[in-house]
């Protein structure tokens, strides 16, 4: 059984190794990298927005992984490694999981990761753009954050492109009778994807018309004018830090959604590398 706290955490923590099986450009701003290999046998899929820490080769091109997987242990070991040899570590979401025997590229389990392509000085985005079959990575499962309480019959999911995989996974795993709405800001109309959402959930793609506009402004405006029930709403908000905190503030203060019924996470911050 997974551990249920504020979030659902995996029962067993271990840094798994995997290798790139395939990569392809999905749309103007997304690259999909599929990883697999025998190391993924230890991975347990939980669905929803299940996310993980992705360990990529460091500056010297080698992949050096911590041996501890406890939340403080791996980070302490990471800090002890020299700046040249420590791995690049970033957070990503499982866009799709296929169990061993059901893969597209071989007999092992497979995980698809959808990376936003967002600039050259960004190690994870750059790694994804250049990922080649056989490249090795490490993966530390961190569980799921989406947790609609039983008293909420309506789910509101809000995010930018970095949260598209989390919203897609949550809608795919949600009960088919769920009612709700999703608002997803994307840089280009062609970045929209099929989401397999329940019939009662309306998906709204909010295209950032102005390429220079701050990420999150358009989707926050869309939520402000959206028709949302006055009670029984669970909200899941993820993406750029200001988007997440701004939409949460609006929902809590103006829509009076109890803070306990809102999950919000800053996935990245303008002008600040995550490492
Ligand atoms: C739980 C969780 C799940 C996530 N899942 C995904 C996922 O499935 N797919 C995904 O693409 N991202 C996802 N992210 C976001 C991802 O971890 C960050 O975008 C990360 O900073 C990317 O690392 P990087 O090395 O490419 O850029 P960094 O080195 O971290 O940043 C370099 C520069 O790029 C900017 N930047 C970072 N991310 C973005 C972005 N998305 N758009 C525009 N500019 C950016 C920063 O502000 C900085 O100026 C997730 C984050 C969390 C916390």
> From the CB of 223, is ligand 1 less than 6 Å away?
no
Task: Scan for tokens 């994307």, then name that residue.
Answer: 186
Residue 178 has pLDDT above 60, yes or no: yes
Cα(240) to centroid of ligand 1, in Å? 9
What ligand 1 atom has the least distance to the C-alpha of 126?
26
Task: For residue 106, give both structure tokens.
Answer: 């071989």
Does the model's pTM come out above 0.95? yes
Cα(232) to centroid of ligand 1, in Å? 31
Task: For residue 141, give both structure tokens.
Answer: 């499962």
For residue 211, what pLDDT is reported? 75
Cα(162) to centroid of ligand 1, in Å? 7
For residue 87, what pLDDT is reported? 98
For residue 174, what pLDDT is reported? 97
For residue 2, what pLDDT is reported? 56
> Measuring CA to CA, how many Å separate 45 from each of 89, 133, 175?
21, 23, 17
């Amino acid at each position: 059984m997974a551990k249920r706290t504020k979030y659902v955490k995996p029962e067993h923590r271990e840094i798994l190794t995997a290798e790139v099986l395939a990569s392809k450009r999905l749309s103007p701003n997304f690259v999909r990298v599929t990883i697999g290999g025998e190391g993924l046998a230890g991975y347990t899929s939980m669905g929803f927005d299940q996310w993980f820490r992705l360990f990529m080769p460091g500056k010297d091109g080698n992949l050096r992984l911590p041996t501890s997987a406890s939340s403080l242990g791996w980070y302490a070991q990471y800090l002890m490694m020299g700046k040249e040899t420590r791995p690049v570590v970033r957070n990503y979401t499982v866009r799709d999981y296929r169990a061993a025997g059901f893969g597209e590229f071989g007999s092992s389990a497979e995980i698809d990761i959808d990376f936003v392509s967002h600039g050259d000085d960004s190690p994870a985005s750059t790694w994804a753009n250049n990922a080649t079959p056989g490249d090795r990575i490490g993966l530390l499962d961190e569980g799921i954050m989406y947790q609609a309480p039983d008293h909420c019959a309506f789910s509101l999911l809000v995010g930018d492109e970095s949260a598209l995989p989390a919203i897609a996974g949550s809608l795919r795993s949600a009960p088919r009778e769920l009612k709700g709405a999703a608002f997803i800001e994307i840089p280009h109309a062609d970045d929209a994807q099929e989401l397999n959402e329940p019939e009662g959930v309306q998906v709204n793609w909010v295209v950032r018309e102005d390429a220079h506009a701050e990420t999150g402004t358009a989707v926050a405006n869309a939520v402000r004018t959206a028709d949302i029930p006055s009670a029984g709403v669970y909200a899941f908000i993820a993406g750029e830090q200001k988007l997440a905190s701004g939409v949460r503030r609006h929902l809590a203060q103006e829509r009076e959604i109890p803070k306990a019924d809102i999950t919000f996470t800053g996935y990245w911050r303008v002008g600040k590398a995550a490492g």
